[in-house]
A and B are shown apart, each in its own frame.
Chain A
Amino acid sequence: MAARTLFDKIWDSHVVERLEDGTAILYIDRHLVHEVTSPQAFEGLRISGRRLRRPDATIAVVDHNVPTSDRTLPIEEPESRNQIETLERNVREFGVPYFPLLSERQGIVHVVGPEQGISLPGMTIVCGDSHTSTHGAMGALAFGIGTSEVEHVMATQTLLQKPAMNMKVVVEGTLGAGVTAKDVMLAIIGTIGTAGGTGYVIEFAGSTIRGLDMAGRMTICNMSIEAGARAGLVAPDETTFDYVRGRPFAPQGEAFEQAVAYWKTLAADAGAHYDKIVELRAEDIPPVLTWGTSPETVIPVSGTVPDPSAESDEAKRAQMQRMLDYMGLEAGQKIAGVPVDVVFIGSCTNSRIEDLRSAAGIVAGRHVAPGVRAMVVPGSGIVKAQAEHEGLDRVFLDAGFEWREAGCSMCLGMNPDRLTPGQRCASTSNRNFEGRQGPGGRTHLLSPAMAAAAAVTGHLTDVRELI
């Protein structure tokens, strides 16, 4: 057989049948369900009298809409409450395993899956949410789907899919102090652009990626979608196996050893073909952040806001000017020193225990700058408990941060955590679109350490000055 990539191997092992036009019926191992994109799919099953084919391959959580304040109080926004209650009715009716709001295991679906050992190497994993790419860090083929496809998976445990092309992004070398996986991924998106990955599944490789812990790999794969890719992948290795070992829904004992033996065969064969290869040097990546309203508007924190007049393409020039106006920035302005109103540490990109430790390392012994609202929203109840066990909650609370319950929160502002018009936010999330964190809100994407630095200084800051 011809040399195959990691993606090729996972794909091939899940093809149930190839249809005439090249479409494959692809078997799905794990279906993650949340409250926003599932109600119409459950309704569809009910209307057509179909059953949920594999409840034991499905897991439901509430995350997008949930309040991150006191959970014992009723949910105030009626539409959010309705979506949550609807999910609870549906999981009961269809027998779906579910982590309810008050469970410690509740959290952002893309944090919960790996944490519980539900997302495993070699699997196909889908969810009605574009950041499903996160689970690719396990060495799984994981991607977001629309509501009709959610229903399709529920009814058939398969999807109709055409294969993607293979891209490899190789990062070699040692990261400098204060430079994290988030900086690496933002640098990659800044390099290839938000459409650079369109039509591809990206495999991240190279010594820098190998050197990342699982949280860092998840941050990278999470934002594959911001580069336009269908999914992101990292080949499973000892770091992966150590992470999976002992997780609640992972295979245990002898079965685990068998699984590892199989997972080791998944890495790309020597000579496997990639349709596109991009290479970066870790040493060339400083701490970075975004200045505009697209994730590709990445600049070093030591840099200046770009000047639209230097852009020759008229449409791009107009777009840059519109971004500057929206963001309240001026061409040529140094980005460091721009004051922030809000700091958000959270989201499926950066809300794992490693992210919180990294931020706490900067915050310890310091205080949130006057006038800044700073919040930490752990990715799951388990992350929150672990952080409290390590005393990180005290570090944040003593410094003047809010310490909240797990959920998507200000990442998309579907719950009450929203920016008000004109507010500037240093955010560890993944999208800086206009109005994403609240109408008129201005988002700068950056790492947890950089977010912490902004919180304690009150402005966008080079974190290296604080370490």
Chain B
Amino acid sequence: MDKFTVLTAIAAPLPEANIDTDKIIPARFLKTTKRSGLGVHAFDGMRYNPDGSEKPDFVLNREPYRKAGILITHDNLGCGSSREHAPWALLDFGIRCVIAPSFADIFFNNCFKNGILPIRLPREICDALMDDARLGANGRLTVDLERQVVVRPDGEEIAFEIDPLRKHLLLEGLDDIGQTLQHEGAISTFEAARGQAQPWQTRIVID
């Protein structure tokens, strides 16, 4: 997982509530065998016409938002199914940070598991940041995770909260696996002791 330290990027405003995981990535794209490559299908229904052509009004179809690295929305982002395809699609599109007044639980967790920083900020602040974002390339936002601030184009800093462990994992680019592997010694010790105490623990070997 890539480290998340300081991100300066174009932010896309998407002033809608309850954007569910089906909107982020429709079910028919779940037969994929890859995490990557889902970016073209992100927001499929909002982004494309039935004939596959782009809907010119949709924010991510407009310059400079095609290169957005931050997404700002209204309440309850990511509700619906637990599919991890949702953060995969965002990440593959290039989004590393999502800002909203509230998030669905599982989606919130799944973001961290995939190196995306979800930031909760009050609705008025989200609206103000959307106004910044509407300036396009002139309205780039900076997200400084170490200092826990979002820096607006005029230099104003907005503080945000984050769980210290999660902050650490993102800063170091450690996923849960990397974190757990720091306990590798304990796992090996446990494994060996278990094998000794319970010799009936069979191994699965197929010749």
Q: Taking beta carbons and an 8 Å cutoff, which residues of A are in contact with B?
A: 16-17, 21, 25, 27, 29-30, 39-40, 43-44, 48, 50, 55-59, 79-80, 82-83, 86, 97-99, 117-118, 120, 146-148, 151-152, 155-158, 160, 249-251, 255-256, 258-259, 262
Contact = CB atoms under 8 A, between A and B. Distances in A.
Given A16-B186, A155-B180, 18 more contacts: A21-B165, A40-B34, A48-B1, A55-B204, A56-B204, A58-B204, A59-B204, A82-B31, A82-B33, A117-B202, A146-B110, A155-B177, A156-B180, A156-B184, A156-B187, A157-B191, A258-B200, A259-B200
Given A27-B191, A79-B31, A152-B176, A40 B84 contact: yes
Nearest to B181: A156
Interface string B187-207: 100110010001111111110
- List the 6 shortest-distance A-B pairs measured between CB atoms, nearest first: A39-B33, A251-B200, A259-B200, A56-B203, A79-B31, A255-B200
23 contacts: A16-B183, A16-B186, A25-B183, A25-B187, A29-B201, A30-B204, A43-B34, A55-B204, A56-B203, A56-B204, A56-B205, A57-B203, A58-B204, A79-B31, A82-B33, A97-B204, A98-B206, A118-B204, A146-B82, A148-B175, A155-B177, A249-B204, A255-B200
A44 B202 CA distance: 28
A59 B206 CA distance: 10
Contacts of A151: 177
B166 to A, nearest CB: 11
Nearest to A20: B165
Contacts of B202: 117, 120, 249-251, 255
A274 B186 CA distance: 31
Given A255-B199, A258-B200, A27 B194 contact: yes
Contacts of A16: 183, 186-187, 190
A393 B82 CA distance: 39
Contacts of B181: 155-156
Task: Among B114, B199, B201, B205, find the residue whose CB has the most chain A CB atoms closer than 10 A.
Answer: B201
A125 B81 CA distance: 23
B88 interface: yes
B204 A147 contact: no
A98 B1 CA distance: 29
B140 interface: no
A98 B194 CA distance: 25
B124 to A, nearest CB: 30
Contacts of A120: 202
Nearest to B33: A39
Task: Using C-beta atoms within 8 Å of the partner chain, give the interface range for chain B.
Answer: 35 or more
B198 A262 contact: yes
A16 B203 CA distance: 20
Given A57-B203, A86-B33, A40 B180 contact: no
A59 B183 CA distance: 25
Task: Among B82, B165, B177, find the residue whose CB has the most chain A CB atoms closer than 10 A.
Answer: B177
A59 B203 CA distance: 10
Contacts of A44: 35
B31 A80 contact: yes
B139 to A, nearest CB: 33
B169 to A, nearest CB: 11
A58 to B, nearest CB: 7
B74 interface: no
A181 B1 CA distance: 46
B177 A17 contact: no
B180 A160 contact: yes
Contacts of A99: 206
A97 B205 CA distance: 6
Given A118-B204, A250-B202, A27 B33 contact: no
A56 B200 CA distance: 14
A203 B1 CA distance: 39
A87 B4 CA distance: 32
B199 A258 contact: yes
Given A148-B110, A258-B199, A158 B206 contact: no
Contact of B190 (A27, A43, A249): A27
A57 B180 contact: no
A157 B201 CA distance: 15
B113 interface: yes
B33 A25 contact: no
B15 to A, nearest CB: 27
Nearest to B82: A146
Contacts of A160: 176, 180
A99 B204 CA distance: 12
B31 A40 contact: no
Nearest to B203: A56
Nearest to B114: A148
A229 to B, nearest CB: 16
Contacts of A250: 202
Nearest to B112: A148
B197 to A, nearest CB: 9
Nearest to A21: B165
Contacts of B84: 40, 146-148
Contacts of B206: 97-99
A50 B174 CA distance: 13
A79 B34 CA distance: 12
Nearest to A89: B33
Contacts of B34: 39-40, 43
A153 B34 CA distance: 18
A377 B199 CA distance: 37
A97 B33 CA distance: 20
Contacts of A48: 1, 175, 177
B200 A256 contact: yes
Contacts of B113: 148
Interface string B8-35: 0000000000000000000000011111
Contacts of A56: 203-205
A335 to B, nearest CB: 30
Contacts of A58: 204
Contacts of B199: 255, 258
